[in-house]
Structure 1
């Protein structure tokens, strides 16, 4: 496939929505299996189209977080990253792998916070290019680096027992199976090493036999480049299946917070925690969506963004609504936290 100079591939972006039925309520097991088998194309097609939209509408850290009352949006994101590093017990000088690093926002923040050396892994050329650019601007090139690779082949790329710690922030949900990616993480960790993850899962309240429950999972998938949403129990079992000792686990979305994690997606500017956050929240409002809808279509016609970007942008609206719906009903969490240890004798 011919690629643009920045690494994006037009054909991948244009083909992204074809992995789902036009009427996603008719999406079946064959469609899911096809996405799982083609997970690299699904994920790359999505991020080629969505990365710029994420940076414009969210931040350079592509994840959710808890919010304190009155806390700025960017501060909440950073605190979420610090919390993971603290729970993992990261210490200065550790060699750490970031699995599915996006454009490197968390890697840069955690490197500063914990004084560790981080290797960010990504299979998307466009994101890697942006991650390197932002890291150079931050003066962190000697501490944070980025490589292209498949997180289902970590041991092949890095060798076994290569890292003191590994983390993944809302990334391993893109893998064709939890056991497959967790097993690879286990291999590259040294004995006694730690793995920390914020995982996207459907909660124990989710029942796929209920049509509305299945529908919300499908809407999350198409709007976030996910081959298949899976239940929390499957993630927990996969960690133990590959040999990890789970030292701590909790669903941070289940904490009784006054400000819900999904509030920026509701589009209610009255809920913005600080004046600086008004624009972030406005982008999800009805007027913000209209501006994005027509603005993105227009710049695509001008060739400013690759063809297919507008269509990927439309799926982000589906995702935003589904995340709010499933967040309110507690059918979904983007922050099932697990901190796992590789046995010393493994």
Structure 2
């Protein structure tokens, strides 16, 4: 299986199935299900607060997936989110669930003018692209003069991983720091994803219920099995401390 096929199973096909399951269960399941893999609500609120989100701001969510974090920011901070997501079915799923503006585009070449957003974030995306420097450069380019950039990045803590998830290209902390410097971005604040509390039981139950519906409907489908195996592998790497999640608040330099 190619990297592109594995990523499509995990991020595109699963997005469509997620939207179908939410429609069956009710809209109260939408944000928890659509935030899968993007950090806990506490972590997202920490990042939103450090990005100084406030009502009316234009927030770009680059690599938005099904759009859960952007919707959370819209509902809790009053921002006007714009989503960019390369997977077509994920774009359709986010529009179906939340109705926010979404464009089908990869983060390495964003179809926006320079400096048009009041805040930018990209959550769990950097490790899924091959041209990581191009993604960082684009995030910097579209951020306005006073805008901050937020990242959730997954970093490897060892020179080599015992297992390598398809389609993931994990940097280590030093590699990331060098790449940020080369991209003209400086770290303002950072936090470790593991230090934030787990979601509240009701939030987790809603997300789990969506997963149960998806498995009931599609568990015999090879695409579900591939995506599930990928999620389990990444989960093992994180639980074993071989991959760690980090939140970064970045400012432009120069």
Does the alignment reach a TM-score above 0.5?
yes
Q: Which residue of the partner structure matches residue 178 of structure 2?
A: 237
Compare 53-62 and 234-243 and name the one that shifted more: 53-62
Pick from 170, 173, 176 the counterpart of residue 130 of structure 2: 176
Deviation of 1:214 after TM superposition, in Å, equals: 3.2
Partner of 1:22: none
Q: Matched residues in 2 for 1:135 and 1:104: separation?
A: 7
1:166-186 Cα shifts (integer Å, max 9, x gaps):
001112322213222001111
Partners in 2 of 1:112 and 1:283 — Cα distance? 21
Q: CA RMSD in A?
A: 3.1
1:327 paired to 2:238: yes
Q: Deviations over 1:222-281 (max 9, x none)?
A: 3xxx2423323322221121111210123222x3x7x7x6xx9xxxxxxxx747856866
Alignment match of 2:84 (pick from 118, 121, 127): 121
For residues 126-141 of structure 1, what are the structure 2 equivalents within 5 Å? 126-136=89-99
For the residues of structure 2 that align with 1:340 and 1:328, how far apart are their CA atoms? 27
Q: Is 1:318 matched with 2:241?
A: no
Displacement after TM superposition at 1:42 (Å): 5.7
Contact 1:97 1:166 in 2 (8 A): yes
Q: Distance in 1 between matches of 2:8 and 2:210?
A: 24
Which residues of structure 2 form unaligned runs of 5+? 23-31
User: Compared with structure 1, are the counterparts of its residues 180 and 109 closer, same or farther at alpha carbon in structure 2 (3 Å cutoff)?
Assistant: same
For 1:128 and 1:281, how far apart are their aligned partners in 2? 22
**2: distance between equivalents of 1:321 and 1:184?**
31
Q: What displacement does 1:159 show?
A: 1.7
5+ long unaligned stretches in structure 1: 1-17, 20-34, 66-76, 137-143, 265-272, 298-309
State the alpha-carbon separation in 1 of the partners of residues 115 and 178 from structure 2.
23
Match of 1:161 in 2: 115
2:101 aligned counterpart, secondary structure: strand
- Which residue of 1 is the match for residue 108 of structure 2? 152
Q: Is the 8 A contact 2:9 2:224 kept in 1?
A: no
Q: Are the aligned partners of 2:10 and 2:226 in contact in 1 as well (CA < 8 Å)?
A: no
Shift in Å, 1:319: 2.7
Distance in 2 (CA, whole Å) between partners of 1:184 and 1:314 is 34
Q: Is the 8 A contact 1:162 1:188 kept in 2?
A: yes
Write the mapping of 1:4-83 to structure 2, written as runs, cut at 5 A.
18-19=1-2, 35=3, 43-44=7-8, 46-52=10-16, 59-65=33-39, 77-83=40-46
- Structure 1 equivalent of residue 69 of structure 2: 106
The answer on whether the counterparts of 2:115 and 2:145 sit within 8 Å (CA) in structure 1 is: yes
* TM-score, normalising length: structure 1: 0.61
The CA distance in 2 between the partners of 1:325 and 1:252, in whole Å, is: 16
- Deviation of 1:82 after TM superposition, in Å, equals 1.6
Alpha-carbon offset, residue 207 of structure 1: 2.6
How far residue 312 of structure 1 moved from its aligned partner, in angstroms, is 2.5
1:59 aligns to what SS in structure 2?
A: helix
**Between Structure 1 and Structure 2, whose CA radius of gyration is higher?**
1
